[in-house]
Each structure stands twice: as C-alpha cells, then as structure tokens.
Chains A and B, each alone.
Chain A
Amino acid sequence: MKRYHIAFAVLALFALSGCIQETTPSEYVLAPQIQKSESALKGMVNSIYTTMAGYSNDDGGVEEISYGSMLAMLEHGTTQLVCSGTNGYNTMGAYCTGSVSATGSNRGLYPSYLFYAYIKAVNDVIGMIGTDASQIDETKKRYLGICYAYRALYYMDVVQIMEYKTPTDKRYTYTTPENDLKNLGVPIVTEKTTSKEASNNKRATVDEVYDLILSDLKQAETYLTGYQRTDKVQPNLAVVYGLYARAYTNLASRVATSATYKDESSYWGNAKSYAEKAISESGCAPLTEDQWTDPVNGFNNRDSQNSWMLATSISEGNKTAATGGSFVFAMTFGTETNFSAYGWRVGRSLDRKWYEKLSNDDFRKKSWLAPNFFYESTNQKEGEPYLVEKDPQGNFINNKWCKDGNNLNTDQSDWSDDYSGFGASKYKYKLNSSASNIRSTINKSNGFQSWPWLYVNLKFRPHNGNYNTYEVGGATDFPVMRVEEMYFLKAEATLHTSGVADANKALEDIVKTRNPNYTCNATNAANFLTEYVFQKGIEFWGEGINYFDAKRLEVGLHRAYKGSNCERYQHCIDMNGVFVGWTPGWNQAELNSNQAIFHYNNPYTNPTTYYFYKSNDELRPYYGYDLSTDN
C-alpha cells in the first residue's frame, strides 16, 4: 500500500465525521416542536382541562392530584366529612386534624402549588393569543373567555383557601402570625408577570384579588356571550354568571374585613340575580333520584345528566390522572372500588349526627350506607328500634349477614348478599358489585376500628361503574359547578335581601326536589343558616363547596361526641367559629423564593393542643351508642 493511499484513507476517516446530530425528546415535546404545530393553541387550551384532571410536581413533593381531590381534601376539615375505617395511611389525614402548615406537612403545601399551576395554564394561553385585536378571531375569543372564566375560578378558590382567618374558639390557644395578615390574600400572577416580579410578589389584599376576579369575569362574559360549548369542561356564559354569584356571595360575607368592598346589600342583590341568571342561562335542572343514585354514572359523568354546569374530566386515555398516586378521586371516595388500600381502609363517611338528622324521605340519604347494611342482629324485630348486641368484650354479635357469625371474615362467600333495606320503602342500594363484596372487602385490611358504624358514601361511583380496574374506574368526571348550587346561593341571598320567610321558601324550592315532604321553618337568620349549611352540606358532600362555606360562614368543626363514627380521637375536634386547620401555610419554596411573603406566612398551631379527647377509649366504646340518650 502506498503511503499516499494511507494518507488518503486517514483523511477520509476524518471526513467521515459530520456535525453533531440534532436530537429531540421522545417522552415529551419542546416548545419549538409544538410551535410548529397548527393545533398548538388548542393543545394549550386543552391543557387547562388536563391540568385540572391531574397535576404533579416532583420538586414540590406534590403527587398527582386532581382539582376534585384537592377540594375533597380540603373538605376533610369539615364536620360532615368523617373518616371511618383505619386512618394509619390516610393521605388526606392532615386535613382532618388541621396539620396543614407549610413546614410541617407535605399536604398543606398542595393548594399553593396547585392553583398557581392552573393559573399558569390559563395565563400561557392568554399570553400566547396576545393583545393584537386584529389577530383575535372567533376561536381565540372563545379561548380567552374560557381562560378568564377559569382564572376567576382559580383566584376565587385560592384566595379563600389562603386567607388567614383568626380562630375564635376561646378554649384554645393559637400561634399568632408574625405580622398582621388581615385582608391579605395571595400574590397575583397574570400573563404579564415575569419570574423576577414573581420572586418579590407580596400577598395582594383580598380586595385586590377580587378586583382581578371581577375584571376577569367581565372579560369572560364578553368573550363567551353566544358561545356554544362542545364539552362541559369549557365554561360558558352560565358558568360565568355562576362565578359571579359565588363572587358576590363571598364579597357580601366579608364586608367586615374588606377595606374596599363594603356594600353588603348590593352584593347580596347581585348574588341573587346572578344565581337566577345562571339557572336560566344554563337551562340546567337539579339531579333526579335516578341520576343521583345511578351506580354507573353517579357523580362521575358530566354528560349523563343536566345538572352539571362545569366539570373536570379525566379522559379514559389519561392513564396518569386515572391511576397516578393515592389522590385519585375514585380511589379515595370509591367505597366499592378495590383499586387501592386507600379506597377501603379509610372510609369517607357522612358524620353520624348529620346522617341521623337527615330525613329518611330524602333520596340523598341513599348516598351513605346505613348501619344495618353491615350489621343487623338476628334478633332484630321488624319495626322495632335498631338493635345492637354486644358480648361482654364489646364485640358485636349475632350478625345476620355473616354466615358463621364472625364479623371479621374476609371471604366474600362468608357473607350474605341479603339486606333488609333502608327506610320505610326497604330501599336496596344500587351497587356495582354486591353486598357481600362490600362486606368482605371492608375486612380485608383487618382494620375497621369503627366497624360497623361507617356511613360510608356510595355517592361517587367509579367511571362506568368499573370498580375493579382502576385505569377505567379512575377516569372520572367531577362537578365544579352544579345548578343546585345556584338555588342554594339564591336562597342565601334571599335571606339577606328579602328575609327569612322568603329564604325558607327558596331553600324548600331546591330541597323539595330531594325530599318532596321537606319544609323549612326557620324563624331567624341564625337557624335558617344552620339549616342552609346542613342541606347544602348534604347536597355537596365531597364536592369541596362545603369547605368554602364552612370557612366563609365560620361554622366551626364539631366531631367530638360520643357515638361519633370518627375512627380516632385525633379527628374528634370540637372548635367553634374558625377552625385553625382551614388555612394552610405557604409552601416552603414560595417562602424561600418570594421574599415579599417570607414574613407573612399563615401560622400553624399544633393539633395536639386542641384535641378534645385524650384517647380512643373516650370514643370507640361508644360506637353504635344511641345518640338521643346523651350529647
């Protein structure tokens, strides 16, 4: 081989190397990739809905969570939502006891992450569309309307969650804030906010946040007028009215704190008229009993009824949201679902007192399993009071439904599918599975301390009624706004505009659709509101609205009584007025990176200082205890 041949070969080998090859990701897409796509804007708008269906943030330790689960989590701090079962692994437990400070809880930080992720999704679309009117076609106008409506919803939610309200129950001592937090809301971030501004972005006053909410609603109203939506995940004009109704109700309820929103009566007037406009504009009607108790579509399908005005939806193809982590709504609230230990070990139940207070004629009562579903004495006589038999050790005996008398059997075959029925009509719950399945599954984890006084819910059903396969059953829809709420808001506004009598009637209007025999005979505002909170609490149990009402109306937390179906004494909180656990702290990352709020964090009070009972002994022996005899 000649030398120049070799030299040539060498040169050739050098020449073989081209320039560095371009690579693109395959797990996700980059902005430059989607900017080339025509459907980019649409995809960004769609992300508003998917973010609400499922969001996680590894940096913040936020596990995959949906909007529905977030609201339900907050509701764990209300009287009527009780955790029965065994709470050792209750992922929402921090909200039951109010252990939701930023630094002490990995759950308390969820709202301050989540809502701002939602806000970013809409801000991005608003920013992407821009302000050049000539470029804004019909489609873009609708997109803007959707974004402004959602932004109003998000800010309204998060400002209510994060606003610090001083606890009022004088029996306890609380940690005081470092600085005065009165009327302080949340930092405002819009499409114009730079990350530099965000790092020195003080808590705007609640009034300023409402300035933004009202202005966003106005924009939404403009852009959505005439809009025919294709999916209930998209807000329409009726939803905007509904949000107005919420906003004015909130403003009316906080004139004492507000510096600028002082005109209470006009707000109540607006609340009422917007509620009415929302009802008429939406064309929606309250759920019927069939829709309510439908085992396949009950509270999981935005299209199976005409009550929902706005919804979130986990698409069947969105496996991450349907299955990701322990906050999947259907998993947490699904009594029949066997996707997860969390589904059954922790029962999401109605407070027993509330259950007993609720009329048997009210079809909504069919949302919670009656005690005799799990336990009925073989000696029970028809028509006689509910009979509880215990052995000297306190164990329930003579259970008609378990074949060998062992209440702890975990085999389905050991349990009966019979059931005496509920109420005078001997109503049989509509189940996707069977009584024996529920009865045996309950024992699977061997931990139902509060058995059988569960009152667990059947309200929220797995998608398609599929309680076995979680990527199907977990793909549920969730109601963000139902027309029933408008009736309630109207009733509340009526109280403040036309007085108790009209309010009674307005409340009856809606509750009679649930219980035709219902009457409301409140004689003053206070007992009207008690009834209002009760009926609304029943209506929206598990939907999160009750959390906002509880904090707004300062109804306290009352779960400490003998015979409660709370599983553990730490949950049996009794606090009047404002419960300290309603206001989580800011997440540490926000405190560290946004210096303007560093000294304005919501304080945290250790729950041990307000535990009502000292041990489970003050609670558990009283399961099944006749409530009329004491308390």
Chain B
Amino acid sequence: MNPSPAMGLKFICRMMRLTIIALFVFVGTAFGTESYSQVKRVTVVSNDISLKNVINQIEKQTNYLFVYNMNDINLNKNVSINARNQSVLQVLKEIFNNTNINFVLEGKNILLVKENKMSHKANLQQGTTKTISGKVVDSKGDPIIGASVVDKDNSGVGVATDVNGHFSIAAKPGVTLVISYIGFEPKKVTVKAGESFYTIELTENVKELDEVLVVAFGKMKKEAFTGSAGVVKSDELMKSQVTNPVEALAGRVAGVQLSNSSFQLGSSPSITIRGFGSISSDTQPLIVVDGMPYDGDLNLINPNDIESMTVLKDAASNALYGARGANGVLMITTKRGKVGASKITFDSKWGANSNGLRNYKTTNSKQFYETYYKMLYNYYVSSDGGSMSASDAHGLANKNLVDSSTGVGPGYMVYTVPNGQDFIQAGGVMNSGATMGAPYSYNGQQFWLQADDWQKEGLRDGFRQEYNTTISGASDKVNYYTSFGYLDQQGIQVGSSQKRLSTRVKLDYQAKKWLKVGTNFNYTKYDNSQTSEGTVGTGTIWSTIKTLAPIYPVYLRDAKKNIMIDHWGEKVYDFGRNYDLSRAGDVGGNCIFDNKYRTSDSDGNSFIASGYGDINIMDGLVFTFNANTYNYNSRYTYATSPFVDYYTGSSDNGYLYKSSSRTYTYNTQQLLNYNKQFGKHDISAMLGHEYYKYKFEFLGASGHNFGIEGTKELATCLNLNGDPSSYSSDYNNEGFFFRGMYNYDSKYYASLSYRRDASSRFAKKHRWGDFWSVGAAWLISKENFFNVPWVNSLKLKVSVGSQGNDNIGNYLYADSYTIVNNNNEAAYQWRQKGSENITWETNTNWNTGLEFELFNKRISGSLDYFSRKTTDMLFSLNTPPSIGYTSYYINLGDMRNSGIELSLSASLINNKDMHWDVNFNITHVKNKVLKLPDAVKTTTVEGHKGYVNLDKSFVSMYEYFVTEGKSLYTWYLPKYAGVDKETGEAMYYKDTVDNNGKVTGKETTKDPSLATNYIIGDALPMFYGGFGTSFGFRGFDFSINLNYQLGGKSYDYTYQTLMHTGGTTNTTWSKDIFKAWTPENKNTDVPRLRFSEKYSQNARSDRFLKNASFLSVQNINIGYTLPSSFTRKFSVDNMRVYFSGENLFYISGRQGFDPRYSLKGVTNPELYSPIRTMSGGISLTF
C-alpha cells in the first residue's frame, strides 16, 4: 500500500488502523462480515464532550471508521450533544454544524475534510483562482463517492466527492490535483486554464484488494502473514471450466500437485502440497470450507459459488489445524454480497466432452497380422521350433495365423484372401489382394467377420450444459448471497454422466450492536452414473482401446455384412467365445456389451448448514461461536440386466445391488479474540476450542432374478441374496488452541500459535498431541534506509512449527477381529494387527521467503524455501506373512520434503484499452527418507539397507526401494541389459554373490526371475508448476493456462504390454516392435520377435520406465464483453460471450503415455481417459 504522500500522514495512520481493525473484525468472525449502516443509530449524550470522543463513541457503537487528515481536522473542540438513538447522519450533522469540517459517508468509512472557504475566497480574490468541478468515476463509469480531491502542493486544500461523484474545488491553472480513493490508484490531474469540468477515472488497485488472506479461523492482512499461501480467485476459477473446483488448482498455485487416479465424472483428483509427507498415512490436505473442516465430496461444491481458494502451505498457516494440518490446508471461501444495489448474474454454457487421450502408436490390422506371422515364422525356423525349412515354416505360420482352432494364432481371421493364395506372403508382407472382412461359417450358420474400431464404438462425445444464477447484495445490516446452479454433462462413454443441482444461501445480520449472526446454507443434489474401471487386467474399454489387437469385431454380422439383431431387437455383440470363435488367450467378453447392460448410479444430496454468532463483549474482545453440520446421503444402485444371461455364463436373471450411506459431521468452534493497540504496538490474541465429529453409516444388500424388466429396487427382485450388511464408522477430533500476533509499526510482525489436539484414531494414552508455530515477517521496504525506487515492497518472512497427521485408518491401535458365524456361534477371526503405541506423525515445517513488488508493481512475486520434516512417521511395517499378518503400524522413521517455490506475475501492459498479464510458477521438491527403523531394513541393495515397498495391488507390478538418503518412491526394478546380440533375447543384470551372500560382481541373465532388482531412480518429478497469460483488448479477452512437470520416472505399463512377444496373443503391438532384433538388425535394444519363448521378453524392468515430464494445456478462454453503452439499453450491466476449452492437449515422453494419473509413477490402462471439454457460453449481469 503506497498512498500518495500528499494525503497526509494521519490518513496513513488511520488507514493502518483501519486495516488492523478490519483484520480484527475478520479474525473475530470466521467469515468476516461487514455492515454498512447508513441509518445506523447511536446514542451519545454529554454536555461537554470533544468531537474526538463523539467520533470514538460512534466508532464503538457502529462499524463506522473515520478517516481524516490529522493536520487539517481539529477534533479537540468540545460540543454538547443529546442524541438518543439517533441516526449517525443526524449526529454528524449536529456536531459538525458550524465547523469547517465536512463529512462524507462512504460505506463504513466516514471521511472528514476541511472546508477551505477561507483559502478559497483568498484565491478568488487573487483573481487567478477559479472554481473547477468534476466527477470521479471508476472504470465502469460509476461514480465514486467520497474520493478525496486534494491540491498536491497545498495539502490543506481538499474536498471529497458527493454521492454523485461530483466535486468542486477552487484551484488555479497549473495546480496539480491528486484524486485518491481507497482501493484505487491515486491519479494526478493538472488544472488547465479554460477547462472547468473534469471527468476523472480511477483504476482499481487490484493489489489493494488482495490484501486480505483467508487463514485458519479467520482472515488476515496479507502483509501481516508470516507463512506461505497461494490463492486462486473466483475470476480464475470462472475461466476454467471445471466441475470439481479443485481441478482449477492445476498449475495455478506453486507447490500444489494434482493427480487424477481417474478422469471419470464425479471423481476427485488427489492433491499433494509440497511433496508426500507420509509413507502410510494419507497425504491429502485438509479441506476447509468457509472456516469449517469439510470431509465431503468436492464435486458437490459448485465452483461458481467460490470466491477464493487459498492453499496454506507452511506451519505458521496450518499449526492451528493441529492434527489435521500436516499435509497443508485448502481453504475454500464462498462468495458473499457486495455493498450496493443487488446484483444478479446469469451464466450459461453449452459444450462437449470428448476423449482427451492420445493413444499409443500401435499396429494397424495389416501390421498386426504381419507381426504375428513373423513371430510364428521366426519360431518355426529356430531349432526350438523344429528347425523347419523356410517354406514349411511359412506354411505353418500362415496356417496357425489364419486357423482359429489351433489356439496359436489370434483366433480371428478378418481378411478375405484370393483363393489359393497365401495370406501373408513369403517375406512377411500381407497379400495385396487381401480385403478387410471375411465370411465365417459355423454349424451351417453364415457370419461375416470384420475388424471394428472399439474406440469409435465404445466412446462418444458427451454434451455438457451448465447454468448458474446468483443474486447478491448488502445493506447496512444484512449481507446476502444466493445462488442456484445446474450442471448436466455426459461422459465420453455411454453410461457415464453427471448431474448436479446446487443452491446456496448465505446471510449475515447485525442483530444487535454487540451481536452479529450469520448462516450459510448449501444444498446440493447430484446424480452420477459411472462406468467400469478397474485394476490391470479387467478388460474395460479403456485398456481395450489401448491394447486390443485391431482385428476383433465388436459385433457379430450376418452373411450380408449387417450387424445381427437378436429377437429383442438389440445388436448382437461378439464375445470372442460364441460359435467356436475365440480371441487368443481366451479372454472373452465384450466391454461395450458389458457397459451397455450395466448401470452404476449414485445419487444423493448434501446439506451443509452453518451458523455463527459474534459477540462483542467489550472493547477489543469478541467471542465467536461457529457451528456447522454436514449431512450427506447417498444411494447407490448397481445392476446388470437380465439380458446379460442370454449372452454370458451368468444365470442371475438380473443382478441388483443397492446401498445407502450417510456421512454426518458436525463441528463447533468457540473463539475468543482480543485486539489492542498502544502506540506503534499492535497485539491480538485468540483462544479457541474446536470439536469435530464424523460419522459414516452404510447399509447395503443385493438380489437377483428380476420380477420385471428394469428393476431398480430390491422389492421387485424375486430373490434376495443373503449378504445384507450395515456398519458405521466414527472419528472424533478435539482441540484447544491459541494464537498471538504482534506487530510494531506495521513493519515487524510476529505470530505464535499452539494447539493441543486429540484424535480418536489413537489409543487413549497416545491420543493428545501438541502442535505449534512461530513466524515473523519484516517489511524491509518500509524501512527508512531502504531506498530502491523500483522496489515497491519487499517482505522477508520466516516460520517454523509442527503439525500432526492422523490420517490413517480407524482403530489401528488394537488387534482386530471379524466376527464370523461358526455353526451359529461366534468366531473371532483374525483381521489385523494393531499397535497400541501408535500416535501422531509430526511434521516440522520451516518456511522462509521473500515477497516482492517491483517496477511500480508491474511485477510481483514470491520466493519460498521450505523444509518439511516428518518425524515419528506412521509406518506400515510389512511383516513376513509367515507370522500370520502382513503389516502393522509403528511410529518410526523420518522423512523430509524440501524445496523451493517461485511465483511470478507481471502486468506487461495495462492501460485503458489493453491489458496483458503473464504468470509463472515453479516448484522443486526433493523427497528424502532420513531415518528408517532397523526392523524394516531387511534388504540390502547396492549397499543401501532398506525395505521393498511392494505395491499391494493385484498385479504387484510396482516396487520401490525405501532406504535412507533416497526418495520414498525410488524404483526398485531389474535393469535391462539390452539384447543378446547373437540370439536377440532380452537380458537383465544379475548380481553374483559368494557363499556368504556378498555381492561380488554383476553378470547378465536371460531369466528375468533371476534378475537382481536395483535402485533405478526417483519416480517423483524434479520440477512442476504452471504458467499462463491473459490478454485483453477493449472488450476482447483471451487467457491460456498450462501446467507442466519435469523429471521423474513413470512405469509405462501399457507400453510394456504392447511390446510383448512369445505367446498366443490378442494384444496389439507398439510400432516400436518393428525395431525388434533380427539377424540382420542386431543393433537394437528391442528383443527378438519369436513365438514360444522360455523367458519373457518384456519382463518388468527399467526398460519400461519413462520420463514423466509433461506439458498440458489446461485451459483456454476467449471472450468478448459487449460495450455497456449498448447493453444498458437492455438493462444489462454487463454481457460477455465466451469460449472455454479445458484439458485441451498434452505432451508426454511417449504418445499414449499419460503421467498425470499418479505422482508416484504408476500407470494403469484400465482408468477412465482424460476428458477434453469445450464450451461456449454467455454471462449476464443485471
């Protein structure tokens, strides 16, 4: 904040106080509310009282603040007043009557200005002075009330604008007037002879509005903030067309990483802030919505309702969330009304969702058969394959390729070959006379087989529509915001869709002068339909389009090549097992059919009701009570149609599973805030208590044998299955906390916080933990000695503190048993090993950084260094299964995430017609395991003692080696040694060991099961971040946002699948298989292509690790705002039409490979593809 020096020092002091009081008010009310009481009534009765005291009384009884220049305004004059329950206006009129003080009301500020009648007159007498008048307006042309207009050289001369923005002042030509107003850039105007009316437009000082930060249990002036935070504001959020608000964080806040384990509609991304802080516990940040911890579904929050999302990253910011703050906190703040006339907005957009996946470069059907042929041929001519002659091998390879019954070929022959000719000709090229599609007969029935495009048949473009309406406003006592939103979108697969209806009502009310109350009510209803995803090998459309050989039909066709229609009028699908047709490997089924006759719907609604009361106990002391309850009911329906029985092995005659769940949370907070200034010292303190309760309840049952088509309820199932179950789970958290803040002269800031927290996840004795932080900030630029003109502000900050993480499963502190029926007696069957001693995982965070504004605030940014050390790490200690259980938890081991964040934004052009802004952020995080318990150091690799973190999924594909000094996600894999130049077989490195098990050297082996696993590299990226730019010219605006990641290694499982060789297969090949070893092509690292291999030629190894860098175009937004002069004719204040594109394009290390699914470098081809959304829309403001 840099007000013009001409404004006078007292003004600054008042402003300072204003912000501090504002801060106090904000802190005191979790949602910071203001009330502007134009008709506010006060009572001041005294026979002899100074004006200053009257002002103080008014300030106390109302929210008004007086702003004035101490040098000009003399408030020592005593007056006599008898005002009982009079409006402020009346009182002011009374006390300033017969003074030279004019007052202007503006919002909660009352500006006092000196009437310069005398000098005015004097100037007039000099004959050179004339009265000039003018109007001060904002960028929209609206009048600014209460702006000050001051003679630059004579600060005693000044007036304020009236309710129409008008002013008049006496000035001589040549005099420079400074026009200023809070929240706007001051402007200078030189009075010219002959010109008597000036229209002065002030531009908003955006930085000024940025000043307040949402922090734990309140708000805080950004200047006073000693921690580290990143903010995404509603304007950014509105540009990105996300359904789940969190998606908008991608690339926009330094230190934040998102990963989508699925892009299915209704799924939520994982959020990681400043690295993985834990091995066994959850690493998701705490979500706080409007001051209340939120354990609900983020998809249920309408992004349109959000004013800002603040990511709190360090100890100073998070310590007050004690137990739950270790992974950072995401504060979501919803919108509220703005003082003035009611504002109505309406926004609607329509668009399409399409597949954002870039698929692998794989063989087409011709290349697939040719490759398959080569694989067979190479085998038959080899000694293992019988050392056949070239012509015999050619014959047999062709036969086995084409003949579906041999169990050697792909099972389907979908080409017609001219009679008597070879399909694949000698040399391995397909007969040029072969044509796609082939007749097939079975038991006298005639069919036509032809390859289908599974992606085309299985996926679609989905329609997306979204409408949002808001009505908001504020008056002196009331502030309200209401919204209504409706979203309806189809996914890119038939059967996946999302509908959401959300409403919000937010109300603040100044009930008494000492009591303010407010409520915030949100209702959301949703209806999601989701399609199948799964673990590796499930055979969903997602893996099918990536890996299925491009020769298999989706449908069965009759002899006339038409898709057959069954007697229910439905298309007949090809399952790869009818009519003796069999896809190689016998993996039958048809994912498109399955999807068609399967429903997986969840619908539900959530209520969030919050209320608060602020009680002003005495001067500077405010008590706040916040209460919040969240009630989320969801009903899930899974059904497979009876129709499925006709085509598959099932005989359920329809299967239905229903479940109903409820999440109920409540949270109460009692906060006592105190604030006091004396001289240049400013102290504030808060004492608080919070109780949080979470309960989840579940009830589910299933049945089969549908009584009527389309059964969706168990009541119409003829048979119920005997598996109904219900359970609930609870979690409680309680904390007592304190925060103290101090600043001296707004230059030196210090903060201190402490929380004592309990979590029900631990045994009684180990339940309570202590968390704390201290922080300090120094505004160097405010020092007198600091004199660097191009630096507008410079802040140095440092903080340290600790937070806890209790994000593990419930009840891990005790051995647990499931209750099983043994002949109608209870059996306590072992479930899980518990460890009584487990307790808090503690994060100790150091953060130090600089915040700066340069070159007339054209460039601003921040640079932070952080070090986040996790100690007493909750550790799932793997035990050998021979002990009868596989793991238990202990608190042992330390880990550190340290790194640097840099955020920069620049306003390259900013004038009336054009603006051009750019922003950039980059984060580097290094994860390092510091200390491991000896008990887990069971394995020694390359001299490092540690343990193998075995992925517990079905495939056991991913293993990391965890050892001190290395990243938690350090790959542990066999090392590929290339191919044996003579035979073309894949080779791997293997340690040689002596009799004592000591490693003596290294050799190669062809048997991957003998290959030694080595430490390969870090899965986590080196750098990540985002950048973007926005540009506006007159009514046009354009913005683009990108995010990126550099470094890290991901395992490309799909590519591994596509580089197979050796077996009967229905899997297509990557085109890289063309580089396979042959006797003529020995210089390659792709192993030979040969059927029937003793050893796998594409075994798990570092050969399939890929650099995980990517660049993603997250969002493009293009809009045009119609001139208001035009729209006002239709009573529309603002009208913008726009186009928005989300998730448009990405580049990764290999086409098809998408490292955005997981930060840990794992991939799974069975997950819903990324969705690209493109929409056009219109927004109106009335």
Contacts and interface: CB of A to CB of B under 8 A. Distances in A.
A420 B948 CA distance: 62
A19 interface: yes
Which of A25, A338, A345, A407 is packed against the most chain B CB atoms within 10 Å? Answer: A25
B816 A594 contact: no
A120 B884 contact: yes
Contact of B730 (A23, A178, A469): A23
Contact of A592 (B514, B815, B938): B938
B817 A29 contact: yes
A449 B1096 CA distance: 28
A516 interface: no
Contacts of A606: 1093-1096
A385 interface: no
Contacts of A447: 577, 582, 588
A588 interface: yes
A7 B617 contact: yes
B1034 interface: no
A86 B828 contact: no
B881 A446 contact: no
Contacts of A595: 938-939
B764 to A, nearest CB: 8
A124 B758 CA distance: 32
B1007 interface: yes
A42 B577 CA distance: 50
A243 B948 CA distance: 39
B879 A195 contact: yes
Contact of A319 (B651, B723, B952, B1010): B723
Given A32-B814, A34-B828, A49-B822, A87 B881 contact: no
B819 interface: yes
A177 to B, nearest CB: 10
A19 B732 CA distance: 10
Contacts of B1093: 606, 608
Interface in B1094-1113: 1094-1096
B827 A47 contact: yes
A43 B827 contact: yes
B1063 A86 contact: no
Nearest to A396: B443
A192 B11 CA distance: 79
Given A175-B1009, A445-B577, A446-B579, A569 B407 contact: yes
A36 B767 CA distance: 22
Contacts of A611: 1092
A21 B733 CA distance: 9
Chief secondary structure at chain B's binding surface: mixed
B603 interface: no
Interface string A451-491: 00000000000000000011110000000000000000000
Contact of B950 (A25, A199, A589): A589
A285 interface: no
Given A29-B817, A44-B828, A47-B828, A201 B882 contact: yes
Nearest to A124: B830
A135 B652 CA distance: 54
Interface in B1070-1100: 1092-1096
B577 A27 contact: no
A590 B887 CA distance: 11
Contact of A446 (B575, B585, B650, B938): B575
Given A29-B828, A589-B878, A59 B952 contact: yes
A59 to B, nearest CB: 4
Nearest to A61: B954
A483 B265 CA distance: 60
Contact of A106 (B734, B760, B954): B954
B818 interface: yes
Contacts of B948: 588, 592
A36 B834 CA distance: 17
Which of A31, A49, A196 is packed against the most chain B CB atoms within 10 Å? Answer: A31
A608 B579 contact: no
A105 B320 CA distance: 49
Contacts, number: 329
A341 B829 contact: no
B885 A120 contact: yes
A88 B953 CA distance: 22
B1062 interface: yes
Given A6-B615, A30-B814, A198-B882, A61 B723 contact: no
A598 interface: yes
Nearest to A609: B1094
A200 B1063 CA distance: 39
Interface string A589-607: 1101111001100011010
A590 B880 contact: yes
Given A20-B734, A28-B819, A40-B828, A615 B1094 contact: no
B670 interface: yes
Contacts of A406: 443
Interface in B510-559: 512, 514
Interface in B278-292: none
Contact of B760 (A22, A29, A60): A22
Contacts of A3: 617-618
B1009 A603 contact: yes
A198 B997 contact: no
Contacts of A31: 814-817, 834
Interface in A288-320: 313, 315-320
B947 interface: yes
A616 B405 contact: yes
Contact of A116 (B514, B615, B810, B881): B881
Contact of A59 (B645, B650, B886, B1010): B886
Nearest to A57: B886
Contact of A590 (B623, B882, B935): B882
Contacts of A441: 651
Contacts of B823: 231, 233, 313, 315
B693 interface: yes
Contacts of A134: none
Interface stretch (A8-16, A422-430, A496-504, A523-531): A8-16
A72 interface: no
B719 interface: yes
A569 B575 CA distance: 22
B615 A46 contact: no
Contact of B732 (A10, A23, A471): A23
A395 interface: yes
Interface in A405-423: 406-408, 410
A498 B881 CA distance: 44
A468 B791 CA distance: 81
A84 interface: no
Which of A39, A40, A344, A588 is packed against the most chain B CB atoms within 10 Å? Answer: A588
B443 A86 contact: no
B392 to A, nearest CB: 13
A623 B646 CA distance: 27
B886 A615 contact: no
Contacts of B822: 46-47, 49-50, 53, 233, 313, 315, 318
A628 interface: no
A46 B826 contact: yes
Interface string B747-778: 00000000000111000100100000000000
B732 A588 contact: no
14 contacts: A20-B732, A23-B760, A29-B828, A30-B817, A50-B821, A59-B952, A201-B880, A313-B823, A320-B820, A588-B950, A592-B878, A594-B880, A614-B408, A616-B406
Interface of B: 400, 403, 405-408, 443, 512, 514, 575, 577-580, 582, 585-588, 615, 617-618, 623, 625, 645-646, 648-651, 668, 670, 672, 689, 691, 693, 719, 721-723, 727-734, 758-760, 764, 767, 810-811, 814-831, 834, 878-888, 935, 938-939, 947-948, 950, 952-956, 993, 997, 1007, 1009-1010, 1062-1063, 1092-1096
Given A319-B723, A410-B646, 7 more contacts: A25-B811, A27-B727, A47-B829, A89-B588, A199-B879, A406-B443, A615-B400
